[in-house]
Amino acid sequence: MNTDADPHGHEDSQPALSFEEFRRSFFYGEHADMQFKFLAKLSDAAAADAVAGVLAALGEAFDTGDLEPVRDAVYQAQVTAYAGDDTPTVTDAPFTPVTGDLAGMRLALISAGGVFRVGDDPMGPHGPTQQESLSMINDFLRGTPTLSRLPKDTPDTELTARHPGYDARTAQRDPGTVFPLAVLRELQDAGQILLADNHYAFTGATSQRRLQHRVAPQWAEQLVAEEVDACLLVAT
């Protein structure tokens, strides 16, 4: 069996990744990470420049203790990656334009980020941890999506997340990254929107056929029954 040896003489049965494979692995790969999945959209040269810029800023932070330049370097790299992203054209889905004043419409938040309330795991009390879920993505992709209901007054401190398609630890620390309910409450307090009583989240890595043909229509009927006028959809 062919093996690769490291500089210390140890053998490693795992073949080395090319740089292209490495940068792509941050997007639904073995290094899946919501903060750095943008690397998959860059060329090798641009991704190398982005990584070098982040590492340079990190090296400075070791001396200064200031992490703001590190955040700026990551943000600028994200902007570079997504600035030229063409908006997809969808021709086979219904489209209903918003004709009323958003401030007078009951708005519901729906996230595909795998958010749920602490103590109310949709997979039961013994559901997998975030780390365990990363190796279970095929099981998730074959499963039926489950909708978690979250009342509009649910504080971020009572929310958590799990998702096999990205490292949801950022969402666990700050649920607003994928479920900005707290921000929507601020907009409602400012009179800019009107929130529905309940908001929802599910894991987007799921059986898309069941989601489209069976589950989503049921969810739509439920939202209509709750007199929701519009939904804000948030992906990961």
Record the pTM. 0.72
Those residues with Cβ within 8 angstroms of residue 11's Cβ, 6 or more apart along the chain or in another chain: 3, 4, 5
Amino acid in the structure at residue 36: F
* Every domain of the chain and the residues it spans: 4-83, 102-234
Task: Describe the chain by its helix, strand, coil percentages, rounded to 5.
Answer: 45, 15, 45
CA angle 129, 119, 213 (to 5 degrees): 75
Write the DSSP symbol of residue 111: E
Instruction: Write the CA distances from 233 to 161, 201, 204, 230, integer angstroms.
Output: 16, 10, 11, 10
Q: What is the DSSP letter of 113?
A: B
Pick from 229, 175, 159: nearest CA to 197: 229
> DSSP labels for 165-229?
SS-THHHHH-GGGT--HHHHHHHHHTTS-EE-SEEEE-BSSS-HHHIIIIIHHHHHHHHHHTT--
| Token pair in block for residue 46 | 């641009």
Residue 205's Cα: distance from chain center in Å?
10
Identify which of 138, 137, 139 has the alpha carbon closest to the alpha carbon of residue 168.
137
Per-residue pLDDT of the chain (236 residues), as tens digits, is 444 555 555 555 667 889 999 999 888 777 877 788 899 999 999 999 999 999 999 999 999 999 999 999 999 999 999 886 666 666 776 777 788 888 999 999 999 999 999 999 999 999 999 989 988 988 999 999 999 999 999 999 999 999 988 878 889 999 999 999 999 999 999 999 999 999 999 999 999 999 989 999 999 999 999 999 999 999 87
CA–CA distance, 146 with 206 (Å, rounded to integer): 9
